[in-house]
């Protein structure tokens, strides 16, 4: 009886191992942002040093995608959280961008910098009312984001190490297809 159980277990393991290549060949690849994405970008900037971050302290966080057809999407949120309540820049604001054109050329991030060539932004938060959609500008808009895959620190971006309470990170990913 013990030998039968061992033989059955080995047969089951063999069947599973034989089936794996067939199963994996039939599972389609899922792409969370579609098949057109060439670049994914994330930016995190926090500035909480009263002496360094005058007049506005707080943070800004951005995600962007640049697609193979020359379009893209971006979403960002900013928050002025170390200023007096009710003053300009206090509290959170947000935008969604519909990028209708982009390119890479020399700019503030070096010889390979992302530039936006057109599109619209929908702003919420500090508008004093409902969301407002405006053209992206001035054009071409230098994003300050390097068009090179990598992790960029405050020193890489600013050219110096900022004081305590200040952080600036850019993550750029080239999406392989």
32 in a structural domain: no
Residue 23 within a domain: no
Query: Is 113 contained in some domain?
Result: yes
DSSP category for residue 30: P
Cα dihedral 126/128/74/99 (nearest 10):
-130
Q: How many domains does the chain have?
A: 1
**Per-residue pLDDT at 27:** 46
State the Cα–Cα distance between residues 124 and 131, nearest whole angstrom.
5
pLDDT tens readout for residues 45-55: 999 888 888 77
Nearest to 70 by CA among 37, 24, 43, 94: 37
146 burial (CB, 10 Å; 0-12 / 13-18 / 19+) is buried
Note whether residue 45 is domain-resident: yes
- Tell whether 139 is covered by a domain: yes
Polymer length of the chain:
177
3 state DSSP class of 111: strand
Per residue in 95-105, pLDDT (tens digit) is: 999 999 999 99
In the chain, the percentage of residues whose pLDDT exceeds 90 is 59
Say what the pLDDT of residue 38 is: 97
Q: 158 lies in a domain?
A: yes
Structural domain range at position 48 = 37-174
pTM attached to this predicted model: 0.76
Count Cβ atoms within 10 A of the Cβ of residue 117 and give its class: 0-12 exposed, 13-18 middle, 19 or more buried.
middle
């Amino acid at each position: 009886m013990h030998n039968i159980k061992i033989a059955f277990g080995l047969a089951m393991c063999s069947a599973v191992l034989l089936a794996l290549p067939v199963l994996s060949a039939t599972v389609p690849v899922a792409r969370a942002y579609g098949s057109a994405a060439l670049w994914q970008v994330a930016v995190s900037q926090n500035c909480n040093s009263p002496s360094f971050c005058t007049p506005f302290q707080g943070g800004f966080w951005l995600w962007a995608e640049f697609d193979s057809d020359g379009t893209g999407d971006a979403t960002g949120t900013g928050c002025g959280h170390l200023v007096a309540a009710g003053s300009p820049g206090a509290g959170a604001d947000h935008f969604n961008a519909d990028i209708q054109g982009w390119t890479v050329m020399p700019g503030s991030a070096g010889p390979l910098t992302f530039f936006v060539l057109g599109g619209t932004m929908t702003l919420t938060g500090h508008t004093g009312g409902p969301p407002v959609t405006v053209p992206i500008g001035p054009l071409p808009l230098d994003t300050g984001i390097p068009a090179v895959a990598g992790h960029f620190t405050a020193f890489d971006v600013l050219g110096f190490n900022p004081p305590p309470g200040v952080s600036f990170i850019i993550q750029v990913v080239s999406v392989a297809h």
